[in-house]
Structures are given as structure tokens and as C-alpha cells.
Amino acid sequence: MLNNEEAPDRVFHAVADPTRRAIVERLTLGPASVSELARPLPMSLPAVVQHLQVLETAGLVRSEKVGRVRTCRLEPAGLRTAEDWLRRQRTAWEGRLDRLGGLLTETANDPDENDEGEPS
């Protein structure tokens, strides 16, 4: 299991690549074999396997091998890592912007200040 500080870094690194995003998007439709995932991609099967390893390390994809077929599926908990980080950032920025908006409203409504921000 990744620690809380490394997990978002690995997830964002994994989805920074368009090929890996395409794989994640395909897996939202359901599990797929590695060869199914590789079919529409303009690269070799070993290259796709390397991308899948990055996604697995980030906790976004889980795979299992049955016989000669390796099947991959999306791991929702990995996506929640990114979602939680983004939610925390959004909450922090919304609070900052609300405070700024309040300050601007307060300044605009202050009858003791003129256009230059100096007392009348």
C-alpha cells in the first residue's frame, strides 16, 4: 500500500500519459485482456504491458492471469486517491476565494474610502 503522500503523485504521474488515460477510459467499460487493450493502440504489446505496470503501481488497475490470458480491471480506490486530493485543493481554494470576495465586497461598500483606497 502506498503512503498518503506518494499515492497522489503516482496516480497523477500514471494518468499524465495519454496512452495510460486511454487504457483507463477503456477499462471504465469493464475488464479487458491485455491484447484487447493493446489492439487499438499504435504500439507493441510489450509497450502496453509497461503502461499497465505503471497503472498497477499507481493502484489504478488490477490484473490477474488465468492460463495464458491476463485480464485487467479498473481499481476504483486508486481513482479516489486523485479525487480526494483534488477535492481538498478545491475546498482550500474556494475558501480563499470566498475570503477574497468578502474583502473586496467590504472594500467596495466602505463609504470612508475613495477611488484610490485612501480615506476621504
45-68 pLDDT, tens per residue?
Answer: 999 999 999 999 999 999 999 999
Is residue 120's pLDDT more than 60? no
CA–CA distance, 88 with 86 (Å, rounded to integer): 5
- The count of structural domains within the chain is 1
Domain presence at residue 26: yes
Evaluate whether residue 20 is within a structural domain: yes
Kindly state whether residue 118 falls inside one of the protein's structural domains.
Answer: no
Residue (of 16, 102, 99) closest to 51 by Cα position: 16
- Tell me the pLDDT of the chain averaged across its residues: 88
Per residue in 6-23, pLDDT tens?
A: 788 999 999 999 999 999
What percent of the chain has a predicted confidence (pLDDT) above 90? 59
CA distance 49 to 16: 17
Q: How far is CA 109 from CA 11, 99, 101, 106, 119, in A?
A: 45, 15, 12, 5, 13
pTM of the predicted protein model: 0.73
98 falls within a domain: yes
C-alpha cell at 45: 504489446
The answer to whether residue 105 is domain-embedded is yes
